[in-house]
Amino acid sequence: MPFSRLAPLTLAAFLALYFIWGSTYLAIRVGVASWPPLLMAGLRFTLAGGIMLGFLRWRGAAWPDARQLRGAAILGVLMPAVGNGLVTMAEREVSSGVAALVVATVPLFTLLFARWFGHQSRALEWAGMALGVCGIVLLNLGSSLRASPQGALLLVLASAGWALGSAWSKHLAQPPGAMGSAWTMIFGGLALLLSSFAIGERLQAWPGATGWGALLYLTVFGSMIAYNAYLYLLKTVSAAAATSYAYVNPVIAVLLGALFLGEHVGAQEMLAMTVIVAAVLLISWRR
C-alpha cells in the first residue's frame, strides 16, 4: 500500500521505526563515551521493561505463566542481551554507521536459522543470501572493520544472536502483546547487568548531561516507543513491510553519524551498504 494511503497511526509507526531505530546507533555511540557499554544497555532495557510492566499491570494485564516467562527469558538473552549488548560494546571501536551496516545482515542470518525450524526458502531468498554474503565480504575489506577485528566479530555475533531469537520466537510461548516485549526487555536487561558485573565494568566518572540524555533517549524512544510501534505494525501490515526497517536503518545511521559525529564512510562501505540493502530487499520481497 502506498504511504499516502496509510492510516495516520500506521504511518507514524513506520516513521518511528525507520528514524528512531536508525538513530539509536548514533545514541549508543554517544552514550558509550560516558557509560560502560553493558551497564548502559542493561539499564536501558531494565528501565524500559520495568516501566512498561508497571503500566500494563496498572491497566489490568494478566500475569504470564511459567512457560511464557521461560520463552521471554530465552528471547531476552538472545535479542536485547546478545543482539544489542554486543552492538553497544562494538560501538566503542566501530563507527555507528558501519555498525548499522553489519546489523543490516540480520535477515540473512534469520533465513539460515529459520531453516532449523522448518522454513522452506524461496529462490529469491537464496539469491538475497548470496548477494548479502558479497556485501559482508565487501564491508570487511573496507578500512573501517579491518582496523577493528574485535568490533567486527562482536557485530557478527550480535546479528546472529538477534536472528536466532527472531527465528525461534515463532516457536516459543511468550506473554501476549506488549507484556511479551516488557518481559523480554527485563530479562535481557538483567542478563546485561549481570554480565557487566561479571566482567568488572565500573563508571570512571559520573556521566554528564550528554551521557544521561543518550540513556534516556535509548530507554524511552529506542525501547519503549519503537518496540511498541513494531508490535503495532506486525498486527496491521504484512511482516515483510514491518521488517522493512532492516534496509532503512543503515541509511539513516550512516547519514546521522556523518552529520553529527563527522564519521567518514568510504566508497567501499557505501558500495557494501547498497549490496546489503539490495540483499535484504530480495529476501523480504513479496508480490
Per-residue pLDDT tens over the stretch 160-204:
998 888 888 878 898 988 898 899 999 999 999 999 999 999 998
In a domain, 31, yes or no: yes
Distance CA 212, CA 259 (A): 21
Confidence of residue 147 (pLDDT cuts 50, 70, 90): low
In a domain, 194, yes or no: yes
In a domain, 147, yes or no: yes
Q: What share of the chain is helix, strand, coil (3-state, %, to 5)?
A: 80, 0, 20
Confidence of residue 120 (pLDDT cuts 50, 70, 90): low
Confidence of residue 144 (pLDDT cuts 50, 70, 90): low
In a domain, 206, yes or no: no
Residue-level pLDDT at 127 = 79
Torsion sign, CA atoms 78, 91, 197, 180: negative
102: number of CA atoms within 13 Å, CB side? 32
Backbone dihedral region of 173: left (phi > 0), alpha (psi from -120 to 50 degrees) or beta? beta
In a domain, 4, yes or no: no
In a domain, 185, yes or no: yes
In a domain, 9, yes or no: no
In a domain, 281, yes or no: yes
Asked whether residue 287 carries a pLDDT value surpassing 50, the answer given is no
Distance CA 56, CA 48 (A): 12
The rounded mean pLDDT for the chain is 85
43: number of CA atoms within 13 Å, CB side? 16
User: Going by C-beta distance under 8 Å and a sequence separation of 6 or more, which residues neighbour residue 199?
Assistant: 38
More confident residue, 178 or 48: 48
> pTM for this structure?
0.86
Residue-level pLDDT at 17 = 86
Q: How far is CA 266 from the centre of its chain?
A: 24
Distance CA 111, CA 159 (A): 12
- Domain holding 157, by residue range, is 20-200+211-285
Residue-level pLDDT at 44 = 96
Asked whether residue 26 carries a pLDDT value surpassing 60, the answer given is yes
More confident residue, 17 or 186: 186
Distance CA 67, CA 192 (A): 22
- Number of domains the chain contains: 1
Asked whether residue 14 carries a pLDDT value surpassing 50, the answer given is yes
More confident residue, 115 or 43: 43
Residue-level pLDDT at 110 = 76
